[in-house]
């Protein structure tokens, strides 16, 4: 390509051009230090000032109350799949235990990882429905003695999103927001823990945001590796080990960009508009279809199938040639997926629909 493409990758994903340009402009000499931000000490006053400003911006964007601590860690959502049970399961009434709402491949992974640390109880599952829906609330079997209930707010592979924070009878909730963090307003007080990496809706991979209610720290299992012990990380400003400084700087630029867009409320409107356009197009098409229960369709990951799968290879080749890249669905789900995170402009979705309409006409 001799130009920037529309990148529909599921993560790492597209980053706003302004953010990339600023990083490029500051690459050789950040803040007059004669060095880039990735080359300076994480404990020096310049980086610490950046770090604190980054946390402040995130707190503002997500309206994070003082009851909750923000940790910037490494190891991704996959790391937290182990860290969460190690930090929280001991709060179970009769020993380490947690409940899981299994609505897709990511919550299933969390459920399986937790089994290493205690009793992981599957309180609900939509596996029998091929993860195309969220099980009816009346079918959930929540335990009385579990420390918490884990759910995945947006299943990146299936394209299934909880429209609201689930009702778990006041039990402690843990939310995986890896693929919808900062994409709509979320009432942070409703969950004990929120976690997700930066590589979809914020910036590059390498930094994991973990938002923890302060009273939930300090109960970890003895075996917890110190880098994943939330109370230790909180006490050291997430610098028990060397933090991913460049990824944090890039996330900080991402936060500034979001603030400039009008914050989460404004970006949420745009995200809804983009998703509506694409789903409306899919619904009227005779070539493409989305298979997710309408009320649970993801605003971020729009999955679709060509009703005649013989056209798949041609669809992928032609879309790629048109500069519409990374539309192949996850191998576990098949079909196609357009990930349209915060940084995907409306124009990207419009051009995609035009291409798909034209492809359908020719098919
Ligand atoms: N949860 C969800 C919903 C995800 O989409 C992902 C990554 N695609 C993960 C967890 C794992 O995150 P990471 O790769 O940052 O460890």
Query: What's the CA gap between 324 and 345, in Å, rounded?
Result: 13
Pairing relation of β-strands 173-176 and 154-155?
Answer: unpaired
pLDDT of residue 336: 98
Q: Are the C-beta atoms of residues 181 and 129 closer than 8 Å to each other?
A: no
Query: What's the CA gap between 314 and 319, in Å, rounded?
Result: 8
Residue with tokens 């006053």: 45
pLDDT in tens, 12-52: 999 999 999 999 999 999 999 999 999 999 999 999 999 99
Q: In angstroms, what is the span from residue 197 Cα to ligand 1's centroid? A: 7
Query: Which residues are annotated binding-site positions for pyridoxal 5'-phosphate?
Result: 106, 156, 176, 199, 241-242
Query: What's the CA gap between 143 and 164, in Å, rounded?
Result: 21
Q: How many Å separate Cα 135 from the centre of its chain?
A: 21
Tell the residue nearest (CA) to atom 9 of ligand 1.
77
Q: Which residues contact 239 (CB under 8 A, 6 or more apart)?
A: 42, 43
Pairing relation of β-strands 173-176 and 149-152?
Answer: parallel
Alpha-helical runs (H) found in 38-75? 45-62
Tell the residue nearest (CA) to atom 11 of ligand 1.
77
pLDDT of residue 349: 98
pLDDT of residue 251: 98
pLDDT in tens, 205-253: 999 999 999 999 999 999 999 999 999 999 999 999 999 999 999 999 9
CB atoms within 10 A of CB 24: 9
pTM > 0.90: yes or no: yes
Q: In angstroms, what is the span from residue 85 Cα to ligand 1's centroid? A: 17
**Extended beta strands in the chain, E state:** 6-7, 68-73, 97-102, 119-125, 149-152, 154-155, 160-161, 173-176, 193-197, 208-213, 288-289, 301-306, 324-325, 336-339
Phi/psi of residue 313, each to 5°? -65, -40
Mutate to test the pocket of ligand 1, among 112, 153, 179 (most ligand atoms within 8 A of CB): 179
Q: In angstroms, what is the span from residue 209 Cα to ligand 1's centroid? A: 12
pLDDT in tens, 349-361: 999 999 999 999 9
pLDDT of residue 330: 97
Task: Give the nearest ligand 1 atom to 104 CA.
Answer: 3
Can you tell me the mean pLDDT for 255-280? 98
Angle at 271 between CA 265 and CA 273, to 5 degrees: 110
Query: What's the CA gap between 220 and 222, in Å, rounded?
Result: 6
Task: Give the nearest ligand 1 atom to 205 CA.
Answer: 15
pLDDT in tens, 115-169: 999 999 999 999 999 999 999 999 999 999 999 999 999 999 999 999 999 999 9
Query: What's the CA gap between 311 and 334, in Å, rounded?
Result: 13
pLDDT of residue 188: 98
pLDDT of residue 60: 98
Beta bridge partners of 301: 339
Q: In angstroms, what is the span from residue 33 Cα to ligand 1's centroid? A: 35
pLDDT of residue 221: 98
Q: In angstroms, what is the span from residue 143 Cα to ligand 1's centroid? A: 26
Helix H or strand E encompassing 265: helix 263-284
CB atoms within 10 A of CB 137: 10
pLDDT of residue 341: 98
ipTM score for this prediction = 0.99
pLDDT of residue 110: 99
Tell the residue nearest (CA) to atom 2 of ligand 1.
178
Sorted by where each begins, the domain ranges of the chain are: 6-17+263-362, 21-260
Q: What is the CATH number of domain 6-17+263-362?
A: 3.90.1150.10
Ligand 1 is surrounded, with C-beta below 6 A, by 11, 76-78, 106, 152, 156, 176, 178-179, 197
pLDDT of residue 293: 98
Please list the active-site residues: 106, 176, 200
Fold of 21-260: 3.40.640
pLDDT of residue 189: 98
Mutate to test the pocket of ligand 1, among 100, 156, 178, 228 (most ligand atoms within 8 A of CB): 178
pLDDT of residue 180: 98
Q: Say yes or no: do domains 6-17+263-362 and 21-260 share a fold.
A: no
Q: Which pair of structure tokens corresponds to residue 160?
A: 């299934």
Percent of the chain with pLDDT over 70: 100
């Amino acid at each position: 390509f001799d130009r920037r493409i529309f990148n529909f990758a599921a993560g790492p994903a597209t980053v706003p051009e302004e953010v990339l340009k600023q990083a490029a402009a500051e690459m050789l000499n950040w803040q007059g230090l004669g060095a880039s931000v990735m080359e300076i000490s994480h404990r020096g006053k310049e980086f610490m000032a950046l770090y604190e400003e980054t946390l402040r911006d995130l707190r503002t964007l997500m309206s994070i109350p003082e009851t909750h601590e923000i940790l910037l860690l490494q190891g991704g959502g996959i790391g937290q799949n182990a860290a969460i049970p190690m930090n929280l399961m001991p709060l179970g009434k009769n020993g380490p235990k947690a409940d899981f709402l299994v609505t897709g491949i990511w919550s299933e992974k969390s459920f399986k990882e937790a089994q290493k640390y205690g009793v992981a109880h599957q309180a609900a599952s939509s596996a029998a429905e091929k993860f195309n829906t969220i099980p009816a609330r009346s079918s959930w079997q929540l335990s009385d003695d579990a420390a918490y209930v884990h759910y995945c707010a947006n299943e990146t592979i299936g394209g299934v999103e909880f429209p609201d924070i689930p009702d778990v009878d006041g039990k402690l909730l843990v939310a995986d927001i890896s693929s919808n963090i900062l994409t709509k307003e979320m009432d942070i007080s409703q969950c004990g823990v929120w976690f997700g990496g930066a590589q979809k809706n914020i910036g590059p991979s390498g930094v994991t945001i973990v938002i923890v209610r302060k009273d939930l720290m300090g109960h970890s299992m003895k075996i917890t590796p110190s880098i994943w012990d939330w109370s230790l990380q909180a006490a050291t400003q997430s610098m028990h080990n060397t933090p991913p400084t460049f990824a944090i700087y890039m996330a900080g630029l991402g936060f500034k960009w979001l603030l400039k867009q009008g914050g989460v409320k404004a970006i949420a409107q745009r995200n809804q508009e983009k998703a509506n356009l694409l789903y409306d197009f899919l619904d009227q098409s005779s070539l493409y279809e989305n298979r997710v229960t309408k009320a649970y369709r993801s605003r971020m990951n729009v999955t679709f199938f060509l009703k005649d799968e013989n056209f798949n290879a041609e669809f992928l080749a032609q879309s790629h040639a048109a500069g519409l890249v990374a539309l192949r669905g996850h191998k576990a789900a098949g079909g196609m997926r357009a990930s349209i995170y915060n940084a995907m402009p409306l124009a990207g979705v419009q051009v995609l629909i035009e291409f798909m309409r034209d492809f359908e006409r020719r098919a």
